[in-house]
Each structure stands twice: as C-alpha cells, then as structure tokens.
Amino acid sequence: MSPGWQDLRQQAQALRERRVGSEELVREHLRRIDEQRELGAFLHVDRDAALQAARAADAARAAGDARPLLGLPLAHKDVFVTRDMPASAGSRMLQGYRSPFDATVVERLRDAGAVCLGKTNMDEFAMGSSNENSAFGPVRNPWDPQAIAGGSSGGSAAAVAARMVPAATGSDTGGSIRQPAAMCGITGIKPTYGLCSRYGMIAYASSLDQAGVLARSAWDCALVLGQMAGFDPRDSTSAQQPAQDYTGELDAPLADATAARPLAGLRIGLPRQWFGDGLAAEVEQPVREALRRMQQLGAELLDIDLPRSELAVAAYYILAPAEASSNLARFDGVRYGHRSRDSSDLRDLYANSRAEGFGAEVKRRILIGTYVLSHGYYDAYYLQAQKIRRLIAEDLRDALVHRCDLIAGPVSPTVAWDLGDKPDPLAQYLADVYTLPASLAGLPAMSLPAGFGSGEHARRPVGLQLVARHFGEPLLLRAAHHLQQASDWHLRSPQD
C-alpha cells in the first residue's frame, strides 16, 4: 500500500486531495483481507457491496460531497446488527441471522460516508478475553500467529493491526476493546457508558456494554467516535450528550502547557494496586517507559490508591453473568435463534435449541448468572457484588475528583498468551483485572501501544491504559494524541 495511506487520517486526506479513489482504497483492503484469511479476523466479507458503496462514494465526492468518512473502509464487530449482512455475535445460536434494522452505530457511520467491508470475528456473545470462544474459530494475532489476538473484539483488533481496515468498531463490557487493542499493538477507546447507543448491539451485560473504536491512532479513534457517538432516543440509557467533533481540539496543548510541554498541568495517577504482584515485568517496563514519555511532555505522575480495585474481578464475574443470563433468555429457538430439529415437545425444543446453539463458556455464564440471581443466593452474591461495584466506582471517582486528571496503568497483566494456553476459565477472568474497574464505573478508557514484551515475546505488543472522568473523552483523546505525536509505538506494523 502506498506509504501515504497508512492510517485513517492519511487515507481521508488522500481521498480529499484526489490522490486515490475510494474504489482503489477498498480494493486494496479487500486484497489484504483475502491474503490474510488464516488469521480468522472476519466472519463475513461483502466484496460486491463494498465496491459498489465505494464507487458511489467516489461519485458523491466528484459531486461535492465532503462528509468526514466518505469512502473510507471500515469493519464492524459482529455484535452489531446489520440489515444487509448477517450478525452472529460469534455464536452458532445466531448463525446466518439477519436483522430487519441496522444498529444506530452502523447507521451513523454509514451516514457519515464509511464503506463497510464486513463483520469481524469475536468471542461468543462478547464473552471472553482471548477470542477462543468464537463458534467460528479463534482469531490469530497478526504479530505472532501462535498467540491469541485478545478478546472479545479480537477480529476487529487483528483486522486493524494487519491493515485489513484502518478502523473498526468494537464493544467493551469489561475490557473487550482495550485488551485486544493492547495485544495487537493498536489504539482503542471505550467511551463513557451511554455515549454511544446500544440500540442494535447484541446485548451481553446491559449496564456495562459500550460501543467504541479500534484504530491505529488516537486521532483516528477521535474521528470515528465523533461520528458514532451522541444521544439516541432508541436506547433508554443513552446519555443526553450531543455528537461532538473530537478531532478539532486534539492538537491544542492543555491549559497551562506550551508546544514543547503540551501535557504540562496534567496530573496522572498511577494506582499502586495496578503495579503490584501479578504484573509481568515485561509489561511493567514498557508501560513505565510510556509514562516517562508523558512526564517528559510535562505531565505530573503521582501514586494513588484504588483500594477496592482488586475486588473488581469477583464483582464483575457475578454481575456480568447475571445480566447475561437474563439477556440470553430470548434465544429459545422460538423468538430468536437456532431451533433444534428433533424435539418432541416445547420444553424439549427450548432445551435442545439452547444446548445446541450455545457454546461452553456461554452456558457456564448462564449457569453462574441464574445461580447468583436465584432465591437465597441473590443477597449473598448479586447484592454484595452491586455494593462492591459502587465502592470501586467511588474509589475511581475520588481519585479523579481530588487527586488527578487521568488514571494510568497497564491494560493486561501479561502479553498475549499462546492459543490454547489458558484452558482454565478463571485464569482468563483474572487477566481482566486492570480493565474491569473503569467498566464497573462507566468511565471512558483507552489502550495505547507502548512497545513489546521481551525475549521470546519480542513480537507481543504491550498496551498503556488511560482512564478519564465521565465524558472526559476530549481530554483523554488529547493526552493520547500528544503522547503519539512524541512517540512511534503506534506506527509499528506486523508487516514491517
């Protein structure tokens, strides 16, 4: 690909200056998708529709259309329903399902001119941290095909890292944008809960689910987020926030900063609990290096405490399954989903359809969820977990109100592990320890490339996590952008 079109920003500029047409751009990306099929990043690619949309974008541009994403290639995580493509959520339960409507996020990005190339692979119903739970096979890491891509938005992360698309949508319930972005060496943003509509996003845990973006840079994330965010009356938890152009202010230094020290005045809190036992040295070292870079740019680093952060895994793995068990009740072979062929009566039909349609991890979560919600255990588990969720959120809020502007730390305690290497579900749950607090608190958070592991992990990327206040996306993106202006971790490509 022409070196001038590496990321979304450059591609948008090349289109504007007529150095390339959307059709050529889309063809090139389709070729890359074809060439790298063994990574398992896509579940569905619609070549003809994409080329047709690209030609229409070229014609529109010739007629003076200047929409921000006009003609730019994009992919959607298969958790978003789409009228013209199937949406499976990585499950046999929904194999071949076509929705009669488009998710709001899909609709808005199309209205902004984006050309959708296809739907990306994911852990079944977004449950997982390694993308090995997809009913349609795992996703491989473009940096090292032995390694997981991370989950549950592993297909979107691998597609962006391997240059099959410059940006893709994802969803994050407990880390599913940030963790695969970190493991694939790209940039990802999970916005504030409620900023992006959940309408048409197949539900996992509704009080946590949030749509977001995976791309190559903070600037690219800002461009796409600005087009998909904003109030939607069709989602009752959608925040009353207008859509916003996040790219406009990215280059501006912070309040008391100068061009040389654009982050001066920014206080970044480092939770002691996120840098303790369990964090691999090969992850800690690059994360601290990236933080030092932010310090050189003027930011002040200070130690903070998030005393209840260690309870996040226990609380989340009660609350998320509880909500999932309720959300997934609709897949009964009658209202939605796969219907078993050989059943003698209605009960049998429900049982067989669900037994055949759901994979092992989804069944495990449904069992945990119904158990913690059941009479007698509700108070002991579900209610306790809700209280802990509140305490964790208060810890984060206290820190962000009284001590610092951003919280920073690692995304994952280790680099991507080998496919098949963590068969124990609990071991995978524990790997979510640093991403869950921001999810439980509904705070916006990003993952930024910060280098690589060491030794035999020299090709396994490491991510830096930044967390901001509610609706603090402008500051979050700006801090991330300034770091990326002064570093080159996000420019590395597995093909270099």
Three-state DSSP at 434 gives coil
Q: Where are the alpha helices (DSSP H) in 297-417?
A: 312-327, 346-357, 360-373, 384-398
Which CB, 463 or 494, lies closer to ligand GLN? 463
Task: Please state, in angstroms and rounded to a whole number, the distance separating the CA atoms of residues 231 and 241.
Answer: 6
Task: Please state, in angstroms and rounded to a whole number, the distance separating the CA atoms of residues 326 and 98.
Answer: 22
Which CB, 154 or 271, lies closer to ligand GLN? 154
Query: To the nearest whole angstrom, how small is the minimum distance from the Cβ of residue 276 to ligand GLN?
Result: 21
Which CB, 291 or 445, lies closer to ligand GLN? 445
DSSP letter assigned to residue 245: -
Task: Please state, in angstroms and rounded to a whole number, the distance separating the CA atoms of residues 311 and 317.
Answer: 10
Annotate 144-153 with b (16+ C-beta within 10 A) or e (fewer): beebbbbbbb
Catalytic residue list contains 363: no
Q: Where are the alpha helices (DSSP H) in 147-190?
A: 154-161, 178-184
Q: Where are the alpha helices (DSSP H) in 185-254?
A: 218-228
Query: To the nearest whole angstrom, how small is the minimum distance from the Cβ of residue 119 to ligand GLN?
Result: 16
Query: To the nearest whole angstrom, how small is the minimum distance from the Cβ of residue 291 to ligand GLN?
Result: 24
Which CB, 172 or 220, lies closer to ligand GLN? 172
Which CB, 26 or 184, lies closer to ligand GLN? 184
Task: Name the catalytic one among 22, 77, 129, 156.
Answer: 77
Which CB, 41 or 257, lies closer to ligand GLN? 41
The residue written with tokens 């076509």 in the block is: 98
Which CB, 127 or 304, lies closer to ligand GLN? 127
Helices 281-296, 473-485: inter-axial angle, 10-degree rounding: 90
Query: To the nearest whole angstrom, how small is the minimum distance from the Cβ of residue 86 to ligand GLN?
Result: 20
Helices 312-327, 360-373: inter-axial angle, 10-degree rounding: 100
Residue nearest to ligand GLN (CB): 176
The neighbour count for residue 70, using CB atoms within 10 Å, is 20
Three-state DSSP at 411 gives coil
Which CB, 219 or 382, lies closer to ligand GLN? 382
Catalytic residue list contains 152: yes
Binding site for ligand GLN (CB under 6 A): 126-129, 152, 172-176, 204, 320, 432
Q: At a CB cut-off of 8 Å and minimum separation 6, what does 248 contact?
A: none
Give the pair of three-digit tokens for residue 484: 């990326």
DSSP letter assigned to residue 27: H
Q: At a CB cut-off of 8 Å and minimum separation 6, what does 135 contact?
A: 88, 90, 91, 92, 95, 124, 359
Which uninterrupted H or E stretch holds 20? none
Distances in whole angstroms, Cα of residue 118 to Cα of each of 81, 84, 225: 12, 10, 19
Catalytic residue list contains 77: yes
Which CB, 170 or 451, lies closer to ligand GLN? 170
Task: Please state, in angstroms and rounded to a whole number, the distance separating the CA atoms of residues 204 and 79.
Answer: 9
Task: Name the catalytic one among 22, 99, 130, 152.
Answer: 152
Q: At a CB cut-off of 8 Å and minimum separation 6, what does 340 contact?
A: 333, 348, 349, 352, 353, 355, 356
Whether the Cβ atoms of residue 217 and residue 187 lie closer than 8 Å to each other: yes
In three-state form (DSSP H/G/I as H, E/B as E, the rest C), the secondary structure along 29-50 is HHHHHHHCHHHCCEEEECHHHH
Task: Name the catalytic one among 88, 129, 176, 353.
Answer: 176
Task: Please state, in angstroms and rounded to a whole number, the distance separating the CA atoms of residues 64 and 487.
Answer: 36
The neighbour count for residue 37, using CB atoms within 10 Å, is 11
Which CB, 36 or 129, lies closer to ligand GLN? 129
Task: List, by residue number, the catalytic residues.
Answer: 77, 152, 176
